Chains A and B, each alone.
Chain A
Amino acid sequence: MSYKIPMGPYHPALEEPYKLDLICEGETVSDAKLHIGFNFRGIEHLAETRNYFQVIALMERVCGICSNIHTLTLCQAMEKLTGLTPPPRAQYIRIVIAELERLHSHVLWAGIAAKLMGFKTMFMTCFEIREQVMDVLQAISGNRVNYSMNRIGGVNRDIEDPLAILSMIEALESGMVKTIIPIFTTSTTARSRCAGIGVLTNEKAISLGVVGPVARASGVGQDLRRAAPYAAYDEMEFEVPVQTDGDVRARLLVRALEIMESCKILRQALTKMPPGELHTGDGKFNFITGTATSRVEAPRGEVMYSVSWREHSRNPSRVHVRTPTFVNMPAIRSMVTGARLADTPLIQASIDPCYSCTDR
């Protein structure tokens, strides 16, 4: 006999509200239905009532974890409509902030995954490492969450001593190589909770169009930093980690390897950072009538902004945000079908969902 277990919208295993109705046969999940919308704030509509300065601050608040990525994507789209190109130093600073954000997002996720595995010590270790990244972001921007780094035509703040950040990167790499990666890959607890569960096959990943580490853990090697480079990514050397098992462990491994690649990118960006201006333009912008689109590889995958403007207007006429979690969440249904009920919190967490982004 089948029965339904509602998980959420408020549940200890969920970081934010959403609802998963699990249809079970005994202890096995036979189907699931997802419900979102509990965080809906109407941000796309609010954007139409904000001018070109205010809209950047507004869109920074779409997401609490990858706030910088939203302003970066928005500013890149607005730069296409104003014809401005950020100077080289600004492009490098954008890379540094984007990769620091990826680091703290991935380490945060590793900590939450450890907590859901019942691995509290690892949760503490991950958060201790994440604090080092947050300290650097705070030292650069003055903020821990909304960094206000991006503006149309460049960045607001300089990184005065780029080489001073290198020691943090070395400490982070050391923590990953000596502690987090070995424990996640060799410990019996981690292996038994992650290997072979929540599988998303390569065919299903392609069919659902999933993005980011979820896609790369199912053998789909797409990464916009490589496929459609923005900022100065075409000057960086890095690998795109891909795993083929498609299970929770593969998603964990992809993110762990991406932390190492982010460290590699950061080291290059910090040591090669060119001197020069932080932004172009005089703060007054002439928008052309039209629509511009920008895409960026956020920690959770591809973010896309479509921004429409009418000439002489101070406000956008339309801002559409396509977030990675919006694309990845439908895959949870495939992942939990056939899984044990007790594994579902970890499986849904394995896509690193951001419900605020999804609902907007």
Chain B
Amino acid sequence: MTVLESIPEIPASSEQSLDPWTESGGVYWLNYSDLNVREVAKAMNAMRARFITITAYQENGSDALRLEYHWDIAGRLLGFTFPLAAKSIDSIYDLCEAVDWIEREVHEGFAVDFTGRVYEPLLLREGNTCGVNLREEVAK
């Protein structure tokens, strides 16, 4: 697992090499494999980055999911990808209060378990089951 001592700065000029970052689709992605989401959250807190959102993707042709986390620093959108092998990932709610509702939404929509936190229903009513977006009738 890659241990993040600090997040490398993104060069201010587009003429400089972005490495280890790459820019794609309006997002600066950090090209480290096997990142730990809690370490990223701590590093983002240290840089006073603003949490934006988590987007869940179902991998093409499989049940596997990946989550993309986004933070903003001075108008630049940073992205970190986390493949989920077992539909489970550490919650960062205790590190980042702003993540509360989106963790709950992804949990209800894609049945992802954000470990280490307690959920209350957000979009679902009591008695509904999580994983609404994965049901056969809505899956492509």
Chain A contacts to B: CB under 8 angstroms: 33, 35-37, 40, 42, 44-45, 48-49, 77, 80-81, 206-209, 222, 224, 226-228, 290-295, 302, 304, 306, 308, 310, 317-318, 320, 322, 326-327, 329-330, 359
Q: When the two chains form their complex, are residues A330 and B138 in contact, meaning their CB atoms are under 8 A apart?
A: no
Which residues of the partner chain B approach A206 to less than 8 Å between Cβ atoms? 50
**A37/B97 contact (C-beta < 8 A), A45-B133, A293-B77, A295-B77 known:** no
Q: When the two chains form their complex, are residues A330 and B133 in contact, meaning their CB atoms are under 8 A apart?
A: no
Interface string of B38-80 (1 = CB under 8 A from A): 0000000000001111011110100000001010001111010
Compute how far the CA of A317 lies from the CA of B60 in the bound complex, rounded to whole angstroms: 9
Compute how far the CA of A317 lies from the CA of B79 in the bound complex, rounded to whole angstroms: 19
Q: When the two chains form their complex, are residues B121 and A80 in contact, meaning their CB atoms are under 8 A apart?
A: no
The answer to whether B4 has its CB under 8 Å from any CB of chain A is: no
Compute how far the CA of A251 lies from the CA of B76 in the bound complex, rounded to whole angstroms: 26
Which residues of the partner chain B approach A306 to less than 8 Å between Cβ atoms? 55, 68
**A37/B98 contact (C-beta < 8 A), A227-B75, A228-B76 known:** no
Which residues of the partner chain B approach A330 to less than 8 Å between Cβ atoms? 100-101
The answer to whether B14 has its CB under 8 Å from any CB of chain A is: no
Which residues of the partner chain B approach A295 to less than 8 Å between Cβ atoms? 26, 77
Residue of A nearest to B58 (CB): A318
Compute how far the CA of A14 lies from the CA of B125 in the bound complex, rounded to whole angstroms: 20
Q: When the two chains form their complex, are residues B123 and A45 in contact, meaning their CB atoms are under 8 A apart?
A: no
The answer to whether B24 has its CB under 8 Å from any CB of chain A is: yes
| One of B50, B55, B120, B124 near A37 (C-beta < 8 A) | B124
Name the residue in B60, B75, B100, B133 with the highest tally of chain A Cβ atoms < 10 Å from its Cβ: B75
Between A and B, 13 residue pairs with Cβ closer than 8 Å are A33-B120, A35-B121, A77-B25, A77-B26, A207-B97, A208-B97, A209-B51, A292-B26, A293-B27, A293-B77, A295-B26, A326-B101, A327-B98
Q: When the two chains form their complex, are residues B55 and A320 in contact, meaning their CB atoms are under 8 A apart?
A: yes
The answer to whether B122 has its CB under 8 Å from any CB of chain A is: yes
Per the 8 Å Cβ criterion, residues 76-95 of B in contact with A are: 76-77, 79
Which residues of the partner chain A approach B26 to less than 8 Å between Cβ atoms? 77, 80, 292-295
Place the interface of chain B in its size category: 20 to 34
**A308/B57 contact (C-beta < 8 A), A40-B123, A80-B26, A291-B25 known:** yes
Q: When the two chains form their complex, are residues B25 and A293 in contact, meaning their CB atoms are under 8 A apart?
A: yes
Q: How far is the CB of B106 from chain A (nearest CB, A)?
A: 10
A-B pairs with lowest CB-CB distance, top 8: A227-B75, A209-B98, A292-B25, A37-B123, A228-B75, A322-B53, A320-B55, A293-B26
Q: How far is the CB of A98 from chain B (nearest CB, A)?
A: 18
Compute how far the CA of A310 lies from the CA of B57 in the bound complex, rounded to whole angstroms: 13
Compute how far the CA of A81 lies from the CA of B26 in the bound complex, rounded to whole angstroms: 10
Compute how far the CA of A330 lies from the CA of B98 in the bound complex, rounded to whole angstroms: 9
Compute how far the CA of A296 lies from the CA of B42 in the bound complex, rounded to whole angstroms: 27
Q: How far is the CB of B93 from chain A (nearest CB, A)?
A: 12
Q: When the two chains form their complex, are residues B101 and A45 in contact, meaning their CB atoms are under 8 A apart?
A: no
Q: When the two chains form their complex, are residues A227 and B52 in contact, meaning their CB atoms are under 8 A apart?
A: no
Contacts A208-B97, A294-B26 aside, 17 further interface pairs with beta carbons under 8 A come to A33-B120, A36-B122, A36-B123, A42-B138, A81-B25, A208-B98, A209-B50, A222-B50, A290-B24, A292-B26, A293-B70, A304-B53, A306-B55, A306-B68, A320-B53, A322-B53, A327-B101
Which residues of the partner chain B approach A322 to less than 8 Å between Cβ atoms? 52-53, 102
Q: How far is the CB of B127 from chain A (nearest CB, A)?
A: 13
Q: How far is the CB of B10 from chain A (nearest CB, A)?
A: 13
Residue of A nearest to B49 (CB): A209
